[in-house]
């Protein structure tokens, strides 16, 4: 995998340094978040709300992005850098969600899960399709990353970038690899003391 466990652990530590929210974090109005650790779930389930990532975010639970017309994006302060959200649980996206980097070319948002054992065979704590990441709607502008499990794309889904132990594409699902993704640079945020300067994908 192009991102090591040590990178992921550093991102988690960076998020924890920004403080901890006990329990679930629900986005009910346009909200900026990060750096931050959330001990429960991250819930973006209210329609037409925007979550702006301003620093590393670590979610110990699940990420539910199901509000119709919701958006999750990097702060403009990231510039050409990319931002990320790390979860220990599953990630579920449905209902016309929009994903975006900072607005500059080469910036993406990455949603990464470390959940293991969700490979279509009835693992523990998986989505209803026994996956770690379940995408029902278009996922352009985001990188979805499942280190140890399966990503499931439903009928007609378009995605920019997926990294997974196992990938399931249903009818008419499309992955369009965007030029520049291989050189995406990740930062903990505008005030972070570190950044991952590059990552590399190999066949």
Please classify residue 32 by burial: count the beta carbons closer than 10 Å to its beta carbon, then call 0-12 exposed, 13-18 middle and 19+ buried. exposed
Within 8 A by CB and 6+ apart from 34, the residues are 15, 18, 53, 54, 55, 56, 57, 83, 189
Binned at pLDDT 50, 70 and 90, residue 114 comes out as very high
Reference 40, options 63, 21, 23, 57; nearest CA is 23
120 has a pLDDT exceeding 60: yes
- pLDDT tens for residues 43-77? 999 999 999 999 999 999 999 999 999 999 999 99
Residue 75, pLDDT score: 96
181 has a pLDDT exceeding 60: no
Give 161's Cβ-side CA count (13 Å radius): 23
Q: Rounded mean pLDDT of the chain?
A: 87
196 has a pLDDT exceeding 70: no
Q: How many CB atoms lie within 10 A of CB 187?
A: 24
């Amino acid at each position: 995998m192009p991102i090591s466990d040590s990178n992921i652990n550093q991102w988690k530590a960076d998020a924890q340094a920004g403080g901890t929210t006990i329990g679930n974090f629900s986005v009910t109005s346009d909200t900026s978040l990060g750096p931050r650790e959330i001990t429960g779930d991250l819930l973006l389930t209210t329609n037409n709300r925007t979550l702006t990532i301003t620093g590393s975010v670590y979610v110990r639970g699940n990420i539910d992005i199901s509000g119709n017309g919701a958006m999750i994006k990097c702060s403009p302060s990231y510039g050409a850098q990319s931002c990320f959200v790390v979860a220990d649980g599953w990630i579920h996206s449905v209902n016309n969600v929009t994903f975006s980097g900072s607005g500059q070319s080469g910036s993406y948002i990455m949603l990464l899960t470390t959940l293991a054992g969700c490979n279509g065979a009835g693992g523990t704590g998986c989505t209803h399709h026994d996956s770690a990441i379940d995408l029902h709607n278009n996922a352009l502008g985001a990188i979805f990353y499942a280190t140890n499990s399966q990503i499931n794309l439903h009928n007609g889904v378009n995605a920019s970038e997926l990294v997974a132990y196992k990938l399931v594409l249903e009818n008419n699902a499309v992955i369009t690899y965007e030029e520049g993704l291989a050189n995406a640079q990740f930062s903990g945020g505008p005030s972070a003391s570190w950044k991952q300067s590059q990552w590399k994908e190999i066949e």
